[in-house]
Structure 1
Amino acid sequence: MDFNLTPDQLDLKTMVHDFVAKEITPYALEMDKEGKMYPGLLQKIDEVGLLNLVVPEEYDGPGLDAVTIGLMYEELGKGCAGVATSIAANALAGYPVVLVGNDEQKKKFFSVINEGNLAAFALTEPGAGSDAGAVATTAIKDGDDYILNGTKCFITNAGLAEIFVIFANTRKSAGIRGLTAFIVERGTPGFTVGKEEEKMGIRASNTCELILDNVRIPAANRLGREGEGFKIAMKTLDAARPLVGAVSVGIAQAAFDTCVQYAKERKQFGKPISSFQLVQAMIADMAMQIEASRLLVYKACWLKDQGLPFSKESALAKCFASDTAMKVTTDAVQVMGGYGYSKEYLAEKYMRDAKIMQIYEGTNQIQRLVIANNILY
């Protein structure tokens, strides 16, 4: 067992760390306040090669392994979870194409991402969150085309993306057996962006609803077979969940570093509060939880890279790391007191950003069911 990172992994980790320190962290509070990335940031992100991390080499991508991507996402999470979420959504949308896309679909989809554009994965609907089988968006076959109708909600990058993976039902009776995945491009007649969400956290990311009104697309845009959508969605989420864990570790680490520095400098009763044992106990607990989370993320990513089963470990990593992010950020605010609660500092932003990590890409209640099912059945 070797815990050493390769020279290439260290170089990429350092590159992202330096980029985040220069281009993201100094603007994190401003982007949080404005509810969007600052002008020009997306282009800078593309220039350093962070938008197409899951694109295979044969389609002009970097072809990176999951462990390396996880290392990079942790660094992004330290800077701004909203920006990290926007970048990660490209991976989430890209995985279904990696998994089941044919050569033409891969060329089409990945060329859009390689050109510096955002993508979006659209599964969630007003009546279908954890219950993917409740997807009500329909896809009716009409000759060599499909006609899509329905509404998606809480879709990351929806207002900015140029290409989408949309899940719709090809069966009148609905249910998971009719769930099917399609590639849909921005500008397709009848395909529009609805309201933008005003969010508690990850505010630099764009989150909107999508409206499909008699959207006609060629059958060639169908990913996999009819009815294969549920399987595709679950495999996609298995691949993406460790990356949510990685961003969660980044959030937790950033909050931890902030509160440790504060504890060393803040004096009460004539001495730094870091000398108080109750504060020390909180810091020790935070350190243990972060390190355990990081190792769970690494293991899930490593198993994926080895081609071994990793569904349980993916859920473990996502669930534990996001729970840790919520606990650590809450404790960081507590250690920092009024300063932690103030919007002048990043601590409260970390806390708000952490919450969504327990919710999206499968709530942590669902993760616990996935873990239990893998153990018991």
Structure 2
Amino acid sequence: MAVERTLPTSEAEDLLDLTRGLADKELGPRAAPDEEAGAFPRDVFALLGRSGLLGLPYPAAYGGGDQPYEVYLQVVEELAARWLAVGLGVSVHTLSCFPVAAYGTEAQRAALLPDMLGGSQLGAYCLSEAHAGSDAGSLATRAEPEPGAVPAPRAAASGGTGPGAPPEAPGYRIAGAKSWITHGGVADFYTLFARTGGPDSGREGISCFHLPAATAGITADPPERKMGMSASPTAVVRFEDVRAAPEARIGAEGQGFAIAMAALDSGRLGIAACAVGVAQAALDLAVAHSRERRQFGRPVGDFQGLSFLLADMATQTAAARELYLSAARRRDAGRPFATQAAMAKLFATDTAMRVTTDAVQVLGGSGYTRDLPAERLMREAKVLQIVEGTNQIQRMVIGRALAREARTAAGAAAR
């Protein structure tokens, strides 16, 4: 089913055409075999970087594409429709770049972003812990300030020493572990959130760090054995007596939680776009099967039972797309969008789960086999209801926003 898109510029239309061609040629044929083998497609991310698709929402001055989120998310959707491991990987990488792009110093941006956005580096976002998943404010990984000089890391972009504070400034000694990290063990850098305040400092005691994967003391456990997305490694990443220069900190001490939440607001839109891509792929598969499969002398899609099911699948997928695009346009206009991002993530991922399940039903017995991608899409859809804030957390975010609005309205009425 052709997706009709309204794009803001002819450049954006060309970008979507480039993405579709690349995805059809490089992603579609590899998705099933590489998922079966659990093979991480690092070369695909390098290709996306060379094609200008890894830094779309970031400034061109640092190697980005200067594209609005409305366009970037549609690129992610197209990638995810062919191979979720790649679409979600682009979303996670974009999330990992956000702190440097939005909160880094000018020197940090100039030194770090070109390689991060150009495809030579792939990022991972290290927030969740075994006992601090949804409750990120209670994370236990520590970054203890320590006195004395700490050698600044060499900046890959310039070949010199890292930008920022003088060498006599205190650095940090980091210890802890992060769980459920996409690209854990294969990333080139880790965006890490660790506690720099006291044990009872809560959200105000968390800071953000940019750490090259080659830093001594950073290791990753073997990848988790997941029900889907086997080509995308998810692993525990351990930080054992890691020494970080002061230049590794992004933003001010204690600003990390605010940075993390701001990044996740945008990241949830990326997950919503991935979910719509998966739902669209399942819908296309189901519609094609309904026209090709014949029973009782006619295509099975002519029977009302299946026809109505397909109609619901198409409606839900289209509605999910419009919801994430509406939130993206609010973001692009500089308007608050956190609640709308939560709504988009909630609705789109629930839609993906429902549509992929129905696609398996439409295909019948063949849908339950690995000969067709329907069962893989169904397994992949499930994780989207969990990552970057479970859908229960999204409902909490939305519910709290409604309560705030009600209190504000009541206060205004009382005045």
TM-score, normalised relative to structure 2: 0.88
Match of 2:55 in 1: 52
Q: Is the 8 A contact 1:289 1:324 kept in 2?
A: yes
Q: How does 1:90-239 map to 2 (within 5 A)?
A: 90-113=93-116, 114-143=118-147, 144-174=170-200, 175-239=202-266
3-state DSSP of counterpart to 1:195: coil
Match of 2:162 in 1: none
Q: Percent identity?
A: 38
Larger Rg: 2
> Is residue 325 from structure 1 mapped to residue 322 from structure 2 by the alignment?
no
Q: How does 1:52-91 map to 2 (within 5 A)?
A: 52-91=55-94
Residue 108 (structure 1) shift: 2.9
Do the aligned partners of residues 41 and 115 (structure 1) sit closer, same or farther apart at CA in structure 2, a change above 3 Å counting?
closer
Q: Is the 8 A contact 1:112 1:162 kept in 2?
A: no
Q: Is the 8 A contact 1:37 1:83 kept in 2?
A: no
Residue 207 (structure 1) shift: 1.5
**Alpha-carbon separation, structure 1, partners of 2:17 and 2:145:** 49
3-state DSSP of counterpart to 2:371: coil
Residue 44 (structure 1) shift: 2.3
> Is residue 308 from structure 1 mapped to residue 341 from structure 2 by the alignment?
no
3-state DSSP of counterpart to 1:165: strand
3-state DSSP of counterpart to 1:343: coil
Q: Is the 8 A contact 2:47 2:119 kept in 1?
A: no
Do the aligned partners of residues 116 and 365 (structure 1) sit closer, same or farther apart at CA in structure 2, a change above 3 Å counting?
same
Residue 140 (structure 1) shift: 0.5
Which has the larger displacement, 43-52 or 137-146?
Answer: 43-52
Residue 202 (structure 1) shift: 1.9
Do the aligned partners of residues 62 and 217 (structure 1) sit closer, same or farther apart at CA in structure 2, a change above 3 Å counting?
same
Match of 1:6 in 2: 9
Match of 1:351 in 2: 378
**Alpha-carbon separation, structure 2, partners of 1:77 and 1:229:** 29
**Alpha-carbon separation, structure 2, partners of 1:115 and 1:364:** 31
**Alpha-carbon separation, structure 2, partners of 1:349 and 1:136:** 35
3-state DSSP of counterpart to 1:212: strand
**Alpha-carbon separation, structure 1, partners of 2:14 and 2:245:** 43
Which has the larger displacement, 299-308 or 102-111?
Answer: 102-111
**Alpha-carbon separation, structure 1, partners of 2:68 and 2:30:** 30
Residue 158 (structure 1) shift: 1.8
Q: Aligned-residue CA RMSD in angstroms? A: 1.5
Which has the larger displacement, 61-70 or 329-338?
Answer: 61-70
> Is residue 273 from structure 1 mapped to residue 300 from structure 2 by the alignment?
yes
**Alpha-carbon separation, structure 2, partners of 1:239 and 1:66:** 9
Residue 313 (structure 1) shift: 0.7
**Alpha-carbon separation, structure 2, partners of 1:372 and 1:259:** 35
Which has the larger displacement, 326-335 or 189-198?
Answer: 189-198
Residue 168 (structure 1) shift: 0.5
* 1:15-67 deviations in Å (ceiling 9; x for gaps): 11111111001111001101123473333222222222233112122121101
Which has the larger displacement, 125-134 or 100-109?
Answer: 100-109
- Residue of structure 2 aligned with 1:29, choices 25, 29, 32: 32
3-state DSSP of counterpart to 2:222: strand
Which has the larger displacement, 267-276 or 317-326?
Answer: 267-276
Q: How many residues are paired up?
A: 376
Residue 3 (structure 1) shift: 4.8
Letter in 2 for 1:77: A
TM-score, normalised relative to structure 1: 0.96
* 1:314-352 deviations in Å (ceiling 9; x for gaps): 111111011100000000000001111111111111111
**Alpha-carbon separation, structure 1, partners of 2:64 and 2:137:** 33
Q: Is the 8 A contact 1:249 1:322 kept in 2?
A: yes
* 1:49-103 deviations in Å (ceiling 9; x for gaps): 2222233112122121101101101101110101112222110101112221111
3-state DSSP of counterpart to 2:64: coil
Letter in 2 for 1:135: L
